[in-house]
Amino acid sequence: MKIFLDGAFVEAADAKVSVFDHGLLYGDGVFEGIRLYQKNVFRLDAHLERLEYSAKAIALKLPWTRAEIAEWTCEACRQNGLTDGYIRLVVTRGAGNLGLSPKRCPKPTIFIIADKISLYPPELYATGLELITVPTRRMNAAALPPAVKSLNYLNNIMAKIEAENLGYQEAILLNDQGFVAECTGDNIFALFKGELLTPKPSSGALRGITRDAVIDLAAEFKLPVRELDLTRYDLWIADELFLTGTAAEVIPVVKLDGREIGTGKPGPLTARFIEAFHRRVIVEGTRI
Ligand code: PXG
């Protein structure tokens, strides 16, 4: 496997970063998870825009243009002969010293891993997920805005551990006011009385690229979408629930906190979104 690292392609075994890199020492950096479908990178520009916003939020100046990063991303797919894949694009503060200040980190580190995608078992899409709300809250935007896709994922990992300890694959996180934020690596949507409801980004949800794609599809379906504060109750009484994310795509939820959602089976509208999303991703995107 060839990895893009700081301007060149190297073998995976040689793709190494310094132990003084602040990405490792402090989680000081940003990243994107991107999908390649049939040699098309899905919404590459939107991912790179979000990367720029994340970098700006942590005051990390990217010394490369969006076009350069886009080209390296496509080249990483080509170098690895990929048709379908998962791309992890990471920018760290770079190597510094044993102090928090980024002032001693003169040069950010960039690396791009383009690998085969490991998909969720297909039966999950047919049977649907069961979720649990976990005690760990989504961190407050005044501490570190959840809109920043930073390398500091401990908040999400703590929630994942709690869900897995209870026998669930994914967790719902509430924000510090008790409203629904998102899952550990996915956004959430509820269908209720002919409306699609989803937490506002200010409730602690990442502005997911898949979330945006679903909102676009909803417009095509003439289905109203509302971003609002949602409680667990709003999710329990929903007609349908589903999650969206780069890895999971669109996946039905059939149970939350021991309550069956709707009929207890994946809903018809969720199925429609899954189908439309699959049709969309193979035609939309940046050709590598
Ligand atoms: N919320 C969080 C906290 C995320 O990390 C999403 C929502 C969905 O956003 P996108 O843009 O992907 O629709 C994410 C994305 C992984 C993995 O390795 C996680 C994500 C993306 C890709 C891979 O588990 N999280």
How does pLDDT run along the chain (288 residues), one tens digit per residue? 999 999 999 999 999 999 999 999 999 999 999 999 999 999 999 999 999 999 999 999 999 999 999 999 999 999 999 999 999 999 999 999 999 999 999 999 999 999 998 878 899 999 999 999 999 999 999 999 999 999 999 999 999 999 999 999 999 999 999 999 999 999 999 999 999 999 999 999 999 999 999 999 999 999 999 999 999 999 999 999 999 999 999 999 999 999 999 999 999 999 999 999 999 999 999 999
Per-residue pLDDT reduced to its tens digit, 125-137: 999 999 999 999 9
Nearest-atom index, ligand 1, CA of 34 = 22
Q: Which of 85, 91, 33 is nearest to 244 (CA)?
A: 33
pLDDT number for residue 48: 98
In the block, tokens 């035609």 appear at: 283
Per-residue pLDDT reduced to its tens digit, 152-161: 999 999 999 9
pLDDT number for residue 88: 98
> Residue ranges per domain, the chain?
2-115, 124-280
Question: Nearest residue CA, atom 15 of ligand 1?
Answer: 185
Classified as helix, coil or strand, 220 is helix
Rounded distance from Cα 206 to ligand 1 centre (Å)? 8
Question: Which of these is catalytic: 116, 149, 193, 255?
Answer: 149
Ligand 1 site: residues with CB under 6 angstroms?
33, 156, 182, 185-187, 206, 208-211, 244-247
Rounded distance from Cα 47 to ligand 1 centre (Å)? 11
Per-residue pLDDT reduced to its tens digit, 12-45: 999 999 999 999 999 999 999 999 999 999 999 9
Query: 3.40.50.720, 3.40.50.300, 3.30.70.120, 3.30.470.10: which CATH number matches 2-115?
Result: 3.30.470.10
User: Which pTM does this prediction carry?
Assistant: 0.96
Nearest-atom index, ligand 1, CA of 246 = 12
Distance from C-alpha of 14 to C-alpha of 270, rounded to nearest angstrom:
43
| The one-letter amino acid at 129 | L
The structure tokens listed for 180 are: 């629904």
pLDDT number for residue 118: 80
The structure tokens listed for 251 are: 């996946």
CA R_g for the chain? 19
The best mutation among 246, 249, 277 to test binding of ligand 1, ranked by most ligand atoms within 8 Å of the C-beta, falls on 246
Rounded distance from Cα 54 to ligand 1 centre (Å)? 14
The structure tokens listed for 165 are: 């300890």
Nearest-atom index, ligand 1, CA of 184 = 3
Rounded distance from Cα 117 to ligand 1 centre (Å)? 14
Query: 3.40.720.10, 3.90.1640.30, 3.20.10.10, 3.40.50.1700: which CATH number matches 124-280?
Result: 3.20.10.10
Tally the C-alpha atoms within 13 A of residue 274's C-alpha that lie toward its C-beta. Answer: 19
pLDDT number for residue 119: 78
Nearest-atom index, ligand 1, CA of 213 = 13
Q: Which residues pair with 109 in a beta bridge?
A: 92
pLDDT number for residue 14: 97
The best mutation among 86, 206, 277 to test binding of ligand 1, ranked by most ligand atoms within 8 Å of the C-beta, falls on 206
Distance from C-alpha of 202 to C-alpha of 147, rounded to nearest angstrom:
8
pLDDT number for residue 146: 95
Rounded distance from Cα 184 to ligand 1 centre (Å)? 8
Q: Which of 2, 209, 213, 23 is nearest to 114 (CA)?
A: 2
The alpha carbon torsion through 254, 255, 256, 257 (nearest 10 deg) reads: 180
Q: Which residues pair with 4 in a beta bridge?
A: 9, 112
DSSP string, 83-126: SSEEEEEEEE--B--SSS-GGG--S-EEEEEEE---PPPHHHHH
Active site residue 39: no
Contact 33, 246 (CB under 8 A): yes
From residue 169, alpha-carbon distances to 96, 165, 268 in Å are 37, 9, 23
Classified as helix, coil or strand, 36 is strand
- Mean pLDDT score of the chain: 97
pLDDT number for residue 120: 84
